[in-house]
Structure 1
Amino acid sequence: MTLEKYGLLKQVLTHARPGQPLTAAWLAEQGVSAQLAYHYVQAGWLVRLGHGWFLRAGDEPVLLLSLEALPGNFHIGGKTALAWHGYQHNLAHRPDTELFAQGPFRLPEWMQAHFPLTVRKRHLFDDHAQGVALWRDMASLRVAEPERAVLEMLWGVPQHQTLEEATHLVESLFGLRATLMQPLLESCRSIKAVRLFLNLAKQASLPIMEELDRTRIRAGSATPYVRRHATGTIRT
């Protein structure tokens, strides 16, 4: 490898954080062609994670940096987002990281091998971006706010989420904002999630129940909502 090529690699890696997967597109933006990336792999400076994905030799991929580098229209949601915001019920259990995707979306095989991830492809809201924000200092990783995340979590009851744990999680959500919860409840396409939230929040005496205008929220008929599934039955 020439000194010029080595100098370029050294310069490129100063812009990469430890554990950050490097996409072929990102490398190209830094002046590293596909042919040059191949030479870096052959020289042992980079390792190939998968097609179009590389990592600095000696590093292990970091979950947050891997998700930030992942292309596609998705966000972290459901119980994972609640946990990231500090709401966790069972700390001993490490569930999969839940990604909610809009449109075509596929996880790279190497990422599935390194991290426990689950992709949910459901259009639960009229506005896909409502209640979703950038995560802290990350440039592109988006995470559902607690108000949206709780509805995504309740949508998964009982197929992906037990009603017991969902109840405990809702009981901890005393800081929900009506200015965001109201429009989300109005636009949520899952009547089950809406009704579960209203009932569980009422049982938990969450302060937000005094601020919501329930006349504008679609909650289905007045008859009980019953859903049977192999993992259990819910009635609300």
Structure 2
Amino acid sequence: MAINTERRKLLEQIMPETMIVTRNWLANKAFLDKHAIDNLVKSEQLKLLWPGLYTRGKSQLSWQSMVYTLQAVMKTDFVVGGLSALELKGYSHYIPISKKETVHLYGNDKLPGWANKLTEKVAFKRHTRNKLFSGMEKEISEKYTTTVTWKLELDELRISYPERACLEMLNEVPGKISIENAGQLIQGMTTLSPRTLQNLLEACTNVKVKRLFLWFASRHNYIWFSKLNMDKIDLGSGNRVIVKGGKLDKTYQITVPKDFQY
């Protein structure tokens, strides 16, 4: 009885409600073997969510708790990025058409099978860094991340810098995000860091994204835009079609809407 009481207290201390952990985490942090974990599940002190995956308490799962598990418990390289990161930083108020909330994760690790199985309310979309930053290592990638607090009981979530998230978002144009919505988002980005943008634009290997970003930036003529060194940014050669049937912007060699308002 005393051992069970001690285990319960230990779990309450190191494992807040709604936190999702793995069997390995329980073995390393709480020194619980398979038999002890199975007994905690039987006594309903732990809830089995998926083979080898557990939570505590009766609160509903959130996508934040799942991302926390990917980042802090499983130590994957995923960060919340693109439109999802911009929403967390208050740049976007995009209303999805689908009832499912899409959370954009950026990293080269494999997304576990349970990520899109535990709840029907969330869909995780995995993006590799290679789409924008071919060859960028995890250590370099982490330099362009920040953290947000989502719940007092748990630590913070890693998300992309707004500058990086903006480039990630633009890679979804026009297939998943309209150029009009992208324009509305960038319209509010008045305080981006020119130094961070310079580094990211030099590291970015996606010509379309770089040209589209600079085209948007030039329209607003933000202070940070005037501080960019264009000579160090490789914009490739040849035209890129962003919108079919549009007009060619000769400066950035992209085809954009004829009567764009943003």
- Bin for the TM-score computed over the shorter chain: 0.7 to 0.9
- Tell me, yes or no, if structure 1 residue 98 matches structure 2 residue 104: yes
What stretches of structure 2 of length at least 5 have no aligned partner? 245-253, 257-262
For each residue in 1:48-106, what CA deviation from the matched residue of structure 2 results, as whole angstroms up to 9, or x when unmatched? 01011111142322332321111221111001111111101435767411001214333
Count of equivalent residues = 230
- Tell me, yes or no, if structure 1 residue 25 matches structure 2 residue 41: no
* 8 Å CA contact 2:61, 2:119 repeated in 1: no
CA shift for structure 1 position 18 = 2.4
* 8 Å CA contact 1:48, 1:54 repeated in 2: yes
Q: 1:95 to 1:8 in 2, by over 3 A?
A: closer
* 8 Å CA contact 2:17, 2:55 repeated in 1: no
AA at the equivalent of 2:112: R
- Tell me, yes or no, if structure 1 residue 133 matches structure 2 residue 146: yes
CA distance in 2, matches of 1:201, 1:214: 13
* 8 Å CA contact 1:102, 1:128 repeated in 2: no
* 8 Å CA contact 2:18, 2:57 repeated in 1: no
Which residue of the other structure, out of 190, 197, 208, is the alignment partner of 2:206?
190
Which residue of the other structure, out of 170, 173, 180, is the alignment partner of 1:154?
170
- Taking the TM superposition and a 5 Å limit, the aligned residue runs for 1:3-152 are 3-28=2-27, 29-70=29-70, 71=74, 72-91=76-95, 95-109=101-115, 110-111=117-118, 113=120, 115-123=122-130, 124-125=132-133, 126=136, 127-136=140-149, 139=155, 141-152=157-168
* 8 Å CA contact 1:99, 1:120 repeated in 2: yes
Aligned sequence identity (%): 24
CA shift for structure 1 position 200 = 0.5
Report SS of the residue matched to 1:60: coil
AA at the equivalent of 1:62: S
CA shift for structure 1 position 3 = 3.4
For each residue in 1:102-139, what CA deviation from the matched residue of structure 2 results, as whole angstroms up to 9, or x when unmatched? 14333425445452321112412234334123334864
For each residue in 1:150-201, what CA deviation from the matched residue of structure 2 results, as whole angstroms up to 9, or x when unmatched? 0000011112221110111111100100110101001101111100000001
CA distance in 2, matches of 1:87, 1:107: 31
CA distance in 1, matches of 2:82, 2:12: 34
AA at the equivalent of 1:121: T
* 8 Å CA contact 1:55, 1:61 repeated in 2: no
CA distance in 1, matches of 2:96, 2:125: 19
Provide TM-score, normalisation by structure 2. Answer: 0.79
**Counterpart of 1:235?**
255
**Counterpart of 1:224?**
239
* 8 Å CA contact 1:20, 1:62 repeated in 2: no
CA distance in 1, matches of 2:218, 2:147: 30
Provide TM-score, normalisation by structure 1. Answer: 0.87
CA distance in 2, matches of 1:216, 1:64: 38
* 8 Å CA contact 1:73, 1:105 repeated in 2: no
Q: CA RMSD in A?
A: 2.4
Which structure 1 residue ranges, 4+ long, deviate > 6 Å from structure 2?
none
Range with bigger deviation, 11-20 or 137-146: 137-146
Range with bigger deviation, 93-102 or 182-191: 93-102
* 8 Å CA contact 1:171, 1:206 repeated in 2: no
CA distance in 1, matches of 2:78, 2:52: 20
